């Protein structure tokens, strides 16, 4: 009520007064709490982590060791395995998921398609699950004598069970499939809403010129969606490089260290093994460097295509 009344009085007043940002201290008061909290819980701990990464020792007995933690990284087989796994997950899962999500969004954007809402809801539904909950479900679905093996054998796709959980290769596949299942629909929604803003007449003109569906996809759809593809690929990159919940709950990092991720290794170093906070902090800077590195690369790739 109050706002509608205000609305009326504004219409009369706004003609006379143009809105100008007010100067002075008041604006800073609005942002003060956020600035303090972000400094306290992001920038200050980050600085602490940097200082810790130059120290080493068990628990609270830390000593300054210079760059020793960083040189140790390169000869630590567990770290190298975790780095390799994380990069593999990122390099395979992110493009795989984005291509699938693009494919679904183009299919569902077709005006003549029936049951559109039903398909969209079904494919999006995994995005409402908690990461831990769906991970536990996937752990059972893909256990060596689990339902996925039973179904694949009944369909005669495989003749003997795949050892999803005890084979290093298949364990990685399970993690990739799980993350893809969880996030494809989520990303699809972004593309779908972007596609709805693309003018249909562009496609009509392309068809008149004899462009195939493939050409339309690569010459029109992809360039039109470029900003949103960049946005989703960067958020997916940051997410995948920090992967923790899924390997922790599906495979526990195993078999061996075949699905161990960097985040999991940091957790193990800090809270599972004899705590070595200094070395754990050095490991965490590996993720920071990768996030910055891959984000810059993606920005560059997107920029160059223009």
Partner 1 sequence: MNKLKQISVYGILIVSSIISIFPFFFMIVSATNKSVDVSSGKLLPGTNLFTNIKNLLATVEIGQALLNSAIIAVTTTVLALLVASLAGYGFEIYRSRAKDIVFNILLLSMMIPFAALMVPLFRMFGTISEIAPVIGIDTLASVVIPTITTAFLIFFFRQNTKMFPKELLEAGRMDGVSELGLFFRIYIPTMKTTYAAAAIITFMSSWNNYLWPLVVLQSPKNQTIPLLISSLGSSYSPDYGVIMLAIVIATLPTALIFFFLQKYFVAGMMGSIK
3-class secondary-structure state, position 130: coil
Coil, strand or helix at 35: helix
Whole-angstrom distance, CA of residue 132 vs CA of residue 123: 19
Contact 46, 37 (CB under 8 A): no
Contact 135, 246 (CB under 8 A): yes
- Choose the stretch contacting partner 1; rule: CB under 8 A; options: 71-79, 156-164, 199-207, 289-297: 289-297
The residue whose two tokens read 């499939």 is: 177
From 70-78, 90-98, 195-203, 275-283, span contacting partner 1 (CB under 8 A): 275-283
300 binds partner 1 (CB under 8 A): no
Q: Compute the least distance from the CB of residue 230 to partner 1, in Å.
A: 10
For partner 1, the closer of residues 189 and 220 by Cβ is 189
What's the min distance (Å) between Cβ of 65 and partner 1?
A: 16
Taking the complex as a whole, how short is the minimal distance between the CB of residue 175 and partner 1, in angstroms? 15
Q: How many CA atoms lie within 13 A of 101 on its CB side?
A: 32
Considering only residues 30 through 89, tell me which ones interact with partner 1, judged by CB under 8 A: 30-31, 33-35, 37-38, 41-46, 48-49, 52
Assigned token pair, 187: 């990303």
- For the beta carbon of residue 98, count every other beta carbon within 10 angstroms: 19
Among the listed residues 233, 236, 249, 257, the single contact to partner 1 using CB under 8 A: 249
Q: Which of 17, 157, 197, 201 binds partner 1 (CB under 8 A)?
A: 17
Position 107 contacts partner 1 (CB under 8 A):
yes
Q: How far is the CB of 295 from partner 1 (least distance, A)?
A: 7
Q: Describe the crossing of helices 168-195 and 77-108 by its angle, rounded to 10 degrees.
A: 40
Residue 189 near partner 1 by CB under 8 A: yes
């Amino acid at each position: 009520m109050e706002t509608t009344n205000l609305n009326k009085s504004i219409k009369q007043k706004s003609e006379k007064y143009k809105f100008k940002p007010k100067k002075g201290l008041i604006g800073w008061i609005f942002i003060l709490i956020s600035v303090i909290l972000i400094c306290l819980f992001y920038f200050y701990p980050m600085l602490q982590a940097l200082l810790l990464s130059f120290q080493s020792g068990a628990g609270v007995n830390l000593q300054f060791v210079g760059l020793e933690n960083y040189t140790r990284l390169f000869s630590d087989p567990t770290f190298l395995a975790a780095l390799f796994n994380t990069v593999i997950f990122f390099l395979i899962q992110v493009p795989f998921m984005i291509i699938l999500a693009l494919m679904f969004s183009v299919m569902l954007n077709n005006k003549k398609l029936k049951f559109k809402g039903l398909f969209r809801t079904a494919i999006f539904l995994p995005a409402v699950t908690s990461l831990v909950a769906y991970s536990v479900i996937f752990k059972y679905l893909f256990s060596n004598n689990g339902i996925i093996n039973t179904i694949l054998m009944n369909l005669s796709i495989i003749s003997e069970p795949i050892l999803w959980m005890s084979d290093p290769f298949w364990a990685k596949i399970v993690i990739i499939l799980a993350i893809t299942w969880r996030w494809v629909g989520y990303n699809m929604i972004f593309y779908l809403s972007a596609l709805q803003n693309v003018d249909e007449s562009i496609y009509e003109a392309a068809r008149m010129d004899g462009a195939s569906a493939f050409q339309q996809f690569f010459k029109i759809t992809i360039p039109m969606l470029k900003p949103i593809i960049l946005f989703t690929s960067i958020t997916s990159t940051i997410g995948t490089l920090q992967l923790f919940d899924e390997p922790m709950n599906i495979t526990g990092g195993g078999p061996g260290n075949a699905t161990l991720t960097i985040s999991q290794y940091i957790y193990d170093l800090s809270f599972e093994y004899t705590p070595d906070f200094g070395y754990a902090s050095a490991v965490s800077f590996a993720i920071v460097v990768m996030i910055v590195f891959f984000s810059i690369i993606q920005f560059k790739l997107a920029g160059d295509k223009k």
